[in-house]
């Protein structure tokens, strides 16, 4: 059911109302989940206003999925969240990259050699050309990652 949820905008902080809309739960449910799931700790500002970050919105969506879609109890979801977070910590500790949904792009070694040779400076004009080429390639990479 998570696919029915709206995409998360590229913002740094979200209010409790915004998170409720993004995750399909009411604000009072989010406040309750903060008590039940210790990993969920939004920043609080003046007047105890909560501000959630992107990773917390993802965590709330995961909690919602466990409770509403998979039928876990609060206790079972809490245990599952601890297990998932521990697995992520272990992967990070072992140096595994967590790039879910990103394809591995095979690059010919000859291309890399050409790229390195072309990167050697031969004056200001060549540097501008290199900058433009690298910039275009970075935009292409960004488009691949977004789609």
Greatest alpha-carbon pair distance for the chain in Å reads: 66
Look over the chain and give the mean of its residue pLDDT values, rounded to a whole number: 81
Q: Using one digit for the tens of pLDDT, what is the confidence trace for 56-101?
A: 999 999 999 999 999 999 999 999 999 988 888 887 777 655 555 5
What is the distance between the alpha carbons of residues 50 and 68, in angstroms, rounded to a whole number?
Answer: 23
User: What is the side-by-side strand order in the sheet with 43-45?
Assistant: 14-15, 49-52, 43-45
pLDDT grade for 116, boundaries at 50, 70 and 90: low
Pick the more confident residue, 61 or 4: 61
Residue 2 pLDDT level (bands cut at 50, 70, 90): very low
Token representation of residue 57: 């919105």
Say how far apart CA 4 and CA 76 lie, in whole Å. 24
Sketch out the chain's domains with CATH numbers: 2-93 (1.10.1660.10), 109-146 (no CATH)
């Amino acid at each position: 059911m998570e696919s029915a949820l709206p995409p998360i905008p590229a913002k740094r902080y979200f209010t409790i109302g915004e998170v409720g809309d993004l995750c399909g739960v009411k604000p009072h449910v989010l406040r309750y989940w903060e008590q039940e799931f210790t990993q969920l700790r939004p920043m609080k500002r003046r007047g105890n206003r909560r501000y959630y970050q992107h990773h917390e919105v993802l965590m709330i969506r995961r909690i919602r999925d466990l409770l509403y879609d998979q039928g876990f109890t609060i206790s079972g979801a809490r245990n599952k969240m601890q297990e998932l977070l521990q697995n992520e910590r272990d992967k990070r500790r072992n140096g595994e990259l967590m790039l879910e949904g990103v394809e591995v792009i095979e690059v010919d070694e000859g291309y890399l050699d050409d790229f390195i040779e072309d990167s050697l400076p031969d004056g200001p004009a060549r540097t501008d050309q290199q900058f433009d080429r690298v910039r275009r390639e970075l935009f292409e990479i960004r488009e691949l990652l977004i789609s």
